[in-house]
Amino acid sequence: MANYSWPPMEKRRLMGKRLERLDGIAKSTGRAKYASDFNAPGMLFGEFLTCPHAHARVTSIDTSAAEKLNGVTAVRVIAKPGTEIQWAGAEVASVAAISEDVARDAVRLIKVGYEVLPHLVKEDDISKAGTRAKAAGETVTGDLEKAFSEADVTHEGSYGIPVITHCCLEPHGQVVEWKGKEINFRPSTQNVTGVGGDLAKNLQLPATDVHVKMDYIGGGFGSKFAADLWGVESAQLSKASGGKPVKMFLDRRTELTIAGVRPSAFAKVKVSAKKDGTLTGWQSDSWATGGFGGGGSPPLPYVFINIPNQKKNHSAISTNTGGVRAWRAPNHQQATYLTCCALEDLAAKLKMDPVELFAKNADLTARPEVYRNQLKKASELMDWGKKWHQRGDSGAGPVKRGLGLAIATWGGGGHNSQCRAVIHPDGAIDIELCSQDLGTGTRTIITQVAAETLGLPMSAINLKIGDNSLPPSGPSGGSTTVGGVSSSTRKATINALEKLYEAVAASLGAKQDELEAVDGRIQVKGHPDKALTWKAACQKLGVKVISEMGANDQKNPGGLNAQGVGGINMAEVEVDTETGIVKMKKFVAVNDCGLVVNPRLAESQIHGGVIMGICSALTEERILDAATGRVLNADMEFYKLSGVGDIGEIVAHVEVLPEHDKRGIVGLGEPSAIAIPAAIANAVANAIGVRVQRIPLTPDRVLAALEGRNA
């Protein structure tokens, strides 16, 4: 069997280099065509009528006026009379028309009668949830009562992290053309391979009828895997409009109301420790909502999983709100927030540096050595030893400075992926796999691996992705893409090379296994004089085209990719105690991520994760109105993201070390986005001397905490 292992670190020409992303110019010149940029002659626009009530039964629906409107080609009822609707924003009817504006006019002409029913949209106070809270049952390890009674110090606290949305800048949607037997489906998706089958299933058609194509996606973050109701409705509207393509992308209000959220998490936590900081007990009563279907159950205690005595209760609250979707590292931001805030509070009570507390308890984690090293590295980059002070001990002026830290872990591993490497007799190379580049750099990485393996420049590779007629590759979620596509590409290109060696061995007077591909040549190993140029070698194929597959098997990665990483994040903030405004000064993110294919792209991933975390820590929160049950801030003015001036200095440290490298490739998208809100919240507590229990750390919450009005 061929040896697929990665070339040794010192021999890599392209892998491990800080190369620019290949589609950078297409994007920064506005030429990249996203799903939402697709135009076609005669294209129609689809719109939804959505329900204004959080809980209601449809009693009547009259679409006649809409149908008569000039320019309208189809009107469809989604929620027939009798349908019970469980959240505001749910789809009631859909319309296709010659323009977006006409489609909206038509939507306004549809008359719907509702019987309004009682709703629950807020979950922060579990005592008000009644029967909507479902307890998962108690988990007990060891003897918690004993641990608490024997502890030198215990701490009890309440913490909360709210529901937030994905707020992808390109909204969810697609263009669908359903003509006869064929469906052309152009979605904004993280799942080009699987989304066609999902649409087909919903339309009760064979998966082979759906052709999916997507070149660029404007953000997904875990929310774009399925065909969704909008995909299905676009298809039906297209069919009802004589097969014309229908473009349907959610408007921002609908996007932020129904296209997915990260579940909340709230907890009352009690922790205990010995004088030296050794953790002895953990108790948590937590609850969360992920919408009507529930969801959200943070793994507690996070990372410090082996605290000897534990008692945990978790309840899922069903609310009349739009449903949960995977959000970059599902459950992990919540879990690290609830855990690390409690630990930082405990450290403050012990008058102990939390870095010491974390290091002291590293043995309670799954990777003690990794975390100890990362604590050291992060401290050094933050200059923690010099800057840290006891909680609240931050000088006389109104502006207080503080430091905080938090911890992360993630699985990753490479998803199933198949790649086809095609070598043409003229020397041209196609690399084909049905993956997608979310902006993580997947195109660049695949090309680096292929060119590295074939001994050619990046420009020699013609990469084809984003089309479900190509060999299947997994959805891009859970940081599994880089491991999957790199490994399948490595294998396919090696398999293709073997075939090329076979074809040219005789003319080089050598055996097939004595050949290598270097610097644009096929040569006898170590003998540049006994060589054929790439072109000349390929010409030996005559009319034969080499087409070889390579597959990554998620369960058996063969050393090419791995899973399981740790990360330490540290934040430095300034808090103005007169205004309550929190300002980011510096953020340090230390992540281990196995073999790094492209450090520049890896750093970008970390920067992105940190900045998303800053938004989540300081400004982001989906706010519901208890009375009407609607989202109050389903827009980008009041659903706030940080801007370029809000982020401070960010130090992303990618650990490129032989001991990490030899593990193979590990994804970085999720682990880089986990511990940020927790680290920032802890830095604020360190600065102002009191805990702000809930994030985002808005000025009103900071001022309330300072005045002892913690909710």
Partner 1 sequence: MGTKGRCLVSSRKDPDVSKTGQSGFSRRGFMQGIGVGSGALGAGILENEAQAAPPPGGFSGPGGVAITLRINGKPTNLTVEPRVTLVDALRNTLDMTGAKKVCDRATCGACTVIMSGKVVYACSVLAIDAQGKDIQTIEGIGSGNKPHPVSMAFVHHDAQQCGYCTPGFVMAAKGFLDRTPNPTLEQVEKGLGGNLCRCGTYVGIRQAVLEAAKEIKGGKNG
Which CB, 311 or 443, lies closer to partner 1? Answer: 443
Which CB, 219 or 564, lies closer to partner 1? Answer: 219
Q: Which amino acid is at 556?
A: N
Q: Which amino acid is at 203?
A: L
Shortest approach of partner 1 to residue 273 CB, angstroms? 34
Cβ contacts of residue 380 below 8 Å, gap of 6+?
Answer: none
**Contact between 582 and partner 1 (CB under 8 A)?**
yes
* Residue ranges in 70-89 that form contacts with partner 1 under rule CB under 8 A: none
Q: How many residues bind partner 1 (CB under 8 A)?
A: 69
**Contact between 557 and ligand FES (CB under 6 A)?**
no
* Residue ranges in 159-178 that form contacts with ligand FES under rule CB under 6 A: 169
Closest CA to 340 of 567, 653, 149: 567
- x/- binding map, residues 198-227, to ligand FES, per CB under 6 A? ---------------------x--------
Classify burial at 374, counting beta carbons within 10 Å of its beta carbon; exposed 0-12, middle 13-18, buried 19 or more. buried
**Contact between 711 and partner 1 (CB under 8 A)?**
no
Judge whether 401 and 683 are in contact, CB under 8 Å.
Answer: no
Residue pointed to by tokens 């281990």 = 592
**Contact between 42 and partner 1 (CB under 8 A)?**
no
Please pick, from the candidates 142, 299, 308, 699, the single residue that binds partner 1 as defined by CB under 8 A: 699
Shortest approach of partner 1 to residue 403 CB, angstroms? 19
Classify burial at 10, counting beta carbons within 10 Å of its beta carbon; exposed 0-12, middle 13-18, buried 19 or more. exposed
User: Residue number with the shortest CB distance to ligand FES?
Assistant: 169
Closest CA to 674 of 589, 603, 585, 602: 589
Which CB, 439 or 664, lies closer to ligand FES? Answer: 439
- x/- binding map, residues 241-280, to partner 1, per CB under 8 A? ----------xx----------------------------
Please pick, from the candidates 187, 342, 698, 704, the single residue that binds partner 1 as defined by CB under 8 A: 698
By a kind-dependent CB cut-off of 5 to 8 A, residue 135 interacts, out of partner 1, ligand FES, none, with none
**Contact between 625 and partner 1 (CB under 8 A)?**
no
Residues 58, 555: Cα–Cα separation, whole Å? 47
By a kind-dependent CB cut-off of 5 to 8 A, residue 136 interacts, out of ligand FES, partner 1, none, with none
Residue pointed to by tokens 């309330």 = 704
Work out whether strand 429-432 and strand 417-423 pair parallel, antiparallel, or are unpaired: antiparallel
H-state helical runs in 174-328? 192-203, 228-240, 252-258
**Contact between 164 and partner 1 (CB under 8 A)?**
no
Beta bridge partners of 272: 154, 281
**Contact between 689 and partner 1 (CB under 8 A)?**
no
First to last CA, the chain: 64
Judge whether 247 and 175 are in contact, CB under 8 Å.
Answer: yes
Please pick, from the candidates 439, 567, 613, 669, the single residue that binds ligand FES as defined by CB under 6 A: 439
Which CB, 29 or 127, lies closer to partner 1? Answer: 29
Residues 490, 588: Cα–Cα separation, whole Å? 33
Which CB, 165 or 236, lies closer to ligand FES? Answer: 165
H-state helical runs in 241-367? 252-258, 332-350, 354-360
**Contact between 440 and partner 1 (CB under 8 A)?**
yes
Strand runs (DSSP E) across 123-204, as ranges? 133-141, 153-161, 164-165, 173-179, 182-187
Buried b / exposed e across 227-263, counting CB within 10 Å, b at 16+? bbbbbbbbbbbbbbbebbbbbbbbbeebbbbbbbbbb
Residues contributing to the site for ligand FES (CB under 6 A): 169, 219, 439
Residues contributing to the site for partner 1 (CB under 8 A): 20-21, 23-34, 36-37, 39, 99-101, 104-105, 108, 167-171, 216-219, 221, 251-252, 438-440, 581-583, 600-601, 603-604, 607-612, 618-619, 635-637, 640-647, 650, 696, 698-700
